Amino acid sequence: MIKKDIFNKNLKEQFKASAKDRVFRFIMADKMIRGAIVHSTRMVNEMRANHDLGPLETLILGQGYIAAGLLCSTLKDKNDRVSMNIQCSGPIKGLDVESNMFGEVKGCLKTQQIEVKNTEKIKYLSTLYGAGFLTITKYLDNAHTPYSGQVALEHGSIAEDLANYFLISEQIPTGFKLSIFFDDQESVKGAGGIFLQALPGADRKKVFEAEKMIQGIDSLGELFAKGHSPEEIIHEAFSSLEPQFLNNSRVEFFCRCSKDRMEGYLKNLAGKEKKDMIKNGPFPVEVRCHYCNSVYHFNKDELRALGK
């Protein structure tokens, strides 16, 4: 992966931001509800820089990244990963995001720029999705085949449609809060999310209480921008349910693409297509990873070597 430097080589600021971006797991309500809260300001800013996104595109894809960062908190084995795909008829067109057990998150929009003719519609993101489907696929180390479930988009909101997916596809009451806070210059100053899920035998009253509480958190991104910690936010928002933190781990915008992997892709091109590329270029040939927008260049000599 080729990651753009958003810190201008300031290692102190880079490490400081990296230390904050983590997903914290907790239980509450007499161990009947599990949850996670993710601080992901650096991740969203690096995603924005690599994909060269405007504020609207950052908001949409950023919510997808935050959701993926929360979903990875449910994984158990080192080779586990989970993906979320949205396909829709609106200007957003869709998105793909994926995360793994190590908290590595990657993904992309189906379109580089979301075309909005009526700017008033930006106030209501649901109108930008239109009809479509949300698909969750889990690649679990102890399963022979991936598990995949799909629901129709009903809310035009990643948080609400994800909650609907778990209720319909897995029959588990679940809640999400996804938040990105922009300043007046449209810079991302805070980003994060919360995930809550009822465990078997959970008291319905406490589940309903937790749902009301998560909706009562106005802007998680703004709270992070003001310096509030994940533990502080959870203890304050859900104090009556007595949350207990279990552990925490990193979350990061990261893709395992490389020039070597792209060489493998070029080697597998059809013979005619490969010969045409070696002969006509244009050089250097660019190969782009759609998940992270990294671009790898190959000159004529490198292509000739691959063609042997």
pLDDT given for residue 177 in this prediction: 98
Q: Are 118 and 266 part of one and the same domain?
A: no
Q: Are 162 and 286 part of one and the same domain?
A: no
**pTM for this structure?**
0.95
pLDDT digits (tens, 9 = 90+) for 38-87: 999 999 999 999 999 999 999 999 999 999 999 999 999 999 999 999 99
Secondary structure letter of residue 201 according to DSSP? T
Residue 274 lies in a domain: yes
Q: Are 25 and 164 part of one and the same domain?
A: yes
pLDDT given for residue 200 in this prediction: 95
Listed in order, strand segments (DSSP E) in 171-226 are 174-182, 188-198
What is the span of the domain harbouring residue 194?
Answer: 11-253
Q: Are 146 and 27 part of one and the same domain?
A: yes
Residue 4 lies in a domain: no
Q: Are 41 and 61 part of one and the same domain?
A: yes
The CATH number that applies at residue 292 is 3.90.1280.10
pLDDT digits (tens, 9 = 90+) for 222-278: 999 999 999 999 999 999 999 999 999 999 999 999 999 999 989 888 888 888 888
pLDDT given for residue 274 in this prediction: 84
Residue 269 lies in a domain: yes
How long, in residues, is the chain? 308
Q: How many CB atoms lie within 10 A of CB 307?
A: 14
State how far the Cα of 47 lies from the Cα of 293, in Å rounded to an integer.
Answer: 9
Number of domains the chain is built from: 2
Residue 103 lies in a domain: yes
Q: Are 95 and 172 part of one and the same domain?
A: yes
Residue 6 lies in a domain: no
Domain boundary among 228, 253, 278: 253
State how far the Cα of 200 lies from the Cα of 287, in Å rounded to an integer.
Answer: 47
C-alpha dihedral sign at 5, 11, 13, 18: positive
Q: Are 266 and 241 part of one and the same domain?
A: no
Give, to the nearest 10 degrees, the angle between helix 271-280 and helix 300-307.
160
Reading the block at residue 11, the tokens are 């290692």
Residue 22 lies in a domain: yes
Q: How many CB atoms lie within 10 A of CB 172?
A: 15
Q: Are 198 and 294 part of one and the same domain?
A: no
Q: Are 154 and 136 part of one and the same domain?
A: yes
pLDDT given for residue 122 in this prediction: 66
Reading the block at residue 308, the tokens are 């042997």
Residue 2 lies in a domain: no
Q: Are 126 and 35 part of one and the same domain?
A: yes
Listed in order, strand segments (DSSP E) in 47-163 are 81-88, 94-100, 104-109, 132-139, 147-152
Q: Are strands 252-253 and 104-109 parallel, antiparallel or unpaired?
A: parallel
Reading the block at residue 154, the tokens are 């009903």
Residue 175 lies in a domain: yes
The CATH number that applies at residue 193 is 3.55.30.10
State how far the Cα of 49 lies from the Cα of 115, in Å rounded to an integer.
Answer: 20
For residues 28 and 153, is the Cβ–Cβ distance under 8 A?
Answer: no
pLDDT digits (tens, 9 = 90+) for 115-169: 987 766 566 788 899 999 999 999 999 888 999 999 999 999 999 999 999 999 9
pLDDT digits (tens, 9 = 90+) for 208-219: 999 999 999 989
- The closest of 114, 12, 25, 16 to 61, measured between CA atoms, is 114
For residues 141 and 77, is the Cβ–Cβ distance under 8 A?
Answer: yes
- Using only C-alpha atoms, the chain has a radius of gyration, in whole angstroms, of 21
Q: Are 63 and 137 part of one and the same domain?
A: yes
pLDDT given for residue 308 in this prediction: 63
Q: Are 67 and 189 part of one and the same domain?
A: yes
